Amino acid sequence: MKRLIATIPVWVVAVAPMAAQTAPAPPAMPKLSQSEWSRLKALTDNLRSPEGCRRVYRAQPGLASAYSSEEFFLGKIANWQGRIQPLEEKQEQAKDLTLEILRREDGTQAYYLTFHHQEPANAITILKSVWRDDSLVALDLLKGFAKVPFSSVEQQQPRYYYGTPPPKTPASPSKNPYAITTGSAH
């Protein structure tokens, strides 16, 4: 009996580090029907060129509520065309891609396709398409990073100092150093 008690801690010590090193598996990509995948593939293929964007806007009258004109739609998508990657013929072949789907009770479905880019490291582009009754009603694109490493060497200086007010600068349009200004960068 003493020998069994003596070996249990050794076993626990041997297994515990392996359990700590095991990372949880990423969630599996939802399986789409071939028609859903084909629809997303056709959308991404068309969004990669101005002619294709025109085809999408003309074929999907629901986009008129989100984009007032075809030219406005083309202008918004033009900046993203280099970031949208083509999809494979079959979902099983898709690499560097994740997919999430939100389905509402009213039948609206939002597909979030996340393209993972090689350069810069961890860069992503998210294509959100909202469909209602097999009609595209909204489209949005976002970019960012999947993982941002933190380095203590690159720590930013605090933006706000509590206790002492920030110095007044001549570039400040307001005399109040705590004034908040808003506006568009465009």
Compute the distance between CA of residue 66 and CA of residue 20 in angstroms, rounded to an integer.
Answer: 48
Using one digit for the tens of pLDDT, what is the confidence trace for 161-172?
A: 455 555 555 554
Apex 78 CA angle, 73 and 79, nearest 5: 120
Q: Is the distance from CB of 81 to CB of 43 less than 8 angstroms?
A: no
Using one digit for the tens of pLDDT, what is the confidence trace for 116-145?
A: 888 888 888 999 999 998 899 999 999 888
Q: Which residues of the chain have pLDDT under 70?
A: 1-28, 148-186
Which pLDDT value is given to residue 8? 43
Which pLDDT value is given to residue 31? 85
Q: How many residues does the chain have?
A: 186
Q: Which of 25-30's residues contact partners 24+ apart within 8 Å by CB, and which partners?
A: 26/98, 29/91, 29/94, 29/97, 29/98, 29/99, 30/99, 30/100, 30/101
Q: How far apart are the first and last CA of the chain?
A: 76
